[in-house]
Structure 1
């Protein structure tokens, strides 16, 4: 084997391995280099082959199936300098999407209220927006009226089903609205038994309320006052005496007694004493 058929590798490894040298045939693929290094240097862990990568000073080697001769340059015919290091494990990912989401939130917080600005004709943008909204509202007015009429018709049909009323114009189209619904015609409620019961309930409630109010008034009138209780507690004998004295004093004196003249003294000789 000549020198042209062999290639010398100078590998810059990680600690505690500083530099490794190895001479291999030029047609050896790069994927076999680490196995040959483990044979040459038994202290290298062979189970770390999947976590280590060979790279040149210009970058990572893309194809590990290519031979060593493909890495030779014109200046270096037999010497190749490589670097042995651990592969960089990828993270959980999504950092770019997080940055984009944060940027979107920041941009959404910017104020975009330009309603106070004016266009080239001098009109405010807020006025133009309101005019557009009003035009859209007027355009959708027939649809809203039709939907409202449809809901009213559905309610009326449900009520008629409950009351057992049949329509004569059942042959009309489902989208049409009857003349009675459009004119607002009302149906008479003919459940007389229900009306009588409701009237009786109202009358009974009124009478019960009036009776309760009358009883309350009677209780207020018949309840004794504290002054009357004091008068009843006084002794009966003294009260009777006072009443008798007052009656005697208040009796009128007869007129004959008041107008009679005073009697004169009669001598005893005249009497025959």
Structure 2
């Protein structure tokens, strides 16, 4: 027969006791060999629970399983208390329909079909919004600003600006006229100076001047007494 121990990964082949034997004898022998209390083990035959009175059969797999200690209870009350705290949900997306498909996938397919169906309408609405936006930009603004005080100040400021510009132009024109008159006066006074400077006559022939010994200057000297003689009678 095949026996699998609690800590063994595989089943071992053991000889069948002479004269057969019971499941209880197998459990006692394995508990004594493994140094485990007999009450801590139970036997399963081919995956099913075996009674202690059952006889051992050749070629059958017997598994010795450790017993698990139970709790103190109260798990049901804990579940009831926890269930009262959990909110009821209306989300059934994870549920399946009769064909085995999840409702989430079915709803997504329906939404996609609706979206594709309304694609043309969305394009038309988008084009309409674009045209309306262009018309709003091309249209004249309807906002009107009416403030009498502002308009009065605006007119006064324009008048003052025009008056200031006119006065400035007049000042510039008067300055230009005065400068032109001053220049003309200066030009009129320049011939007198030239006449005074030209009173000193120079001899046109330099060689003759050297030969005569500056005769031109003598002439000037001769002229000066005549002028003085002319001035004397007027003084008397």
- TM-score, length-scaled by structure 2: 0.31
In our comparison, the structure showing a higher alpha carbon Rg is: 2
- TM-score, length-scaled by structure 1: 0.27
Instruction: Report which of the two has the higher share of helix.
Output: 2
